[in-house]
Structure 1
Amino acid sequence: MRKVKKRRKIYLPDPKFNDPLVTRFVNHIMKNGKKNVAYKIFYDALKKIDSIKKEKEEKSSLEIWKKGLKNAMPYVEVRSRRMGGSNIQVPVPISSNSRITKAMKLLISCASIRSEKTMANKLASEIWDAFQEQGEAVKRKENIHKMAEANKAFSHFRF
């Protein structure tokens, strides 16, 4: 085969929750190599989620974040394919690793657009909205799924 299979990166667990998924999320938040700042943003966002959630909610803030991440995960995407002089949008299923990455990037980019004061507040409210299956990240996921559904006729052109 011509393509070399990519080795999957192994992430070390984070210091507070001992979860490699948190480290992966923090790496997506991080800018200019400032990982401590990214950790602070994430942990502050989880504290804000604790203050947002009602007393009847028995889930921890980390479980709310994971559920919000799961709600923002797209399962299919469209890729352009050149066929006979025109570009066709072909729906393609996404691997589980890419799904997680896309969900993380959706949550972070949609949080950064919000109009709140700090990034921790923005991220907390976006995670909470994703947990409740609302918010910009979930809308973008649904738009991706709608585009794939609209182009379902071209699914036999998968590559």
Structure 2
Amino acid sequence: MRKVKNKEKIYLPDPKFNDPLVTRFVNHLMKNGKKNVAYKIFYNAMKKIDLIKEREEKSALEIWKDGLKNVMPHVEVRTRRMGGSNIQVPVPISSNSKMTKAMKLLISCASIRKEKTMANKLASEIWDAFKEQGEAIKRKENIHKMAESNKAFSHFRF
């Protein structure tokens, strides 16, 4: 067999919210193996979201999950070499990859914001994603536009 299916990782639930998705997000947020620092950043961001939300009846965790769903891309563009030229082929993404891409988009867009701490940056980016604004939403739309413009090559899927 050429393509071997990867085993799906099982994430333990986090201590505060008891949600494995939070652990997965914190693993992406973590740098140099400092998981406690990453948990502190995430939990402080959740506290900031609790302070930011005005009349929302949702909890900070639900706002974060909705923000992730809003940022989640459904297609991506992969490069394929055909007859001496490179063609960008739109390909649908698996649900696991969608979630990973959404998490990485949120974290990377939060890190380039011009605010004081990473918790503030992350809280602002999550709130913007929840409201369907911000850099992460723009990047997602950019990915979808690239796939739409290369729709003619969709029959070259791998």
TM-score with structure 2 setting the length: 0.99
Structure 2 match to 1:144? 143
Letter of the 1:79 partner, please give it.
R
Letter of the 1:23 partner, please give it.
T
Match of 2:31, SS state, is: coil
Letter of the 2:13 partner, please give it.
P
Match of 1:15, SS state, is: coil
Q: Structure 2: how far apart are the matches of 1:85 and 1:144?
A: 25
Q: Structure 2: how far apart are the matches of 1:3 and 1:106?
A: 27
Gaps in structure 2 of 5+ consecutive residues = none
Q: Structure 2: how far apart are the matches of 1:135 and 1:2?
A: 40
Deviations 1:62-111 (A, max 9, x none): 00000000000000000000011100000000000000000000000000
Match of 2:80, SS state, is: strand
Match of 1:18, SS state, is: coil
TM-score with structure 1 setting the length: 0.99
Q: CA RMSD in A?
A: 0.5
Structure 1 match to 2:125? 126
Match of 1:81, SS state, is: strand
User: Kindly, what percent of the aligned residue pairs are identical?
Assistant: 87
Structure 2 match to 1:14? 14
Q: Structure 1: how far apart are the matches of 2:107 and 2:47?
A: 17
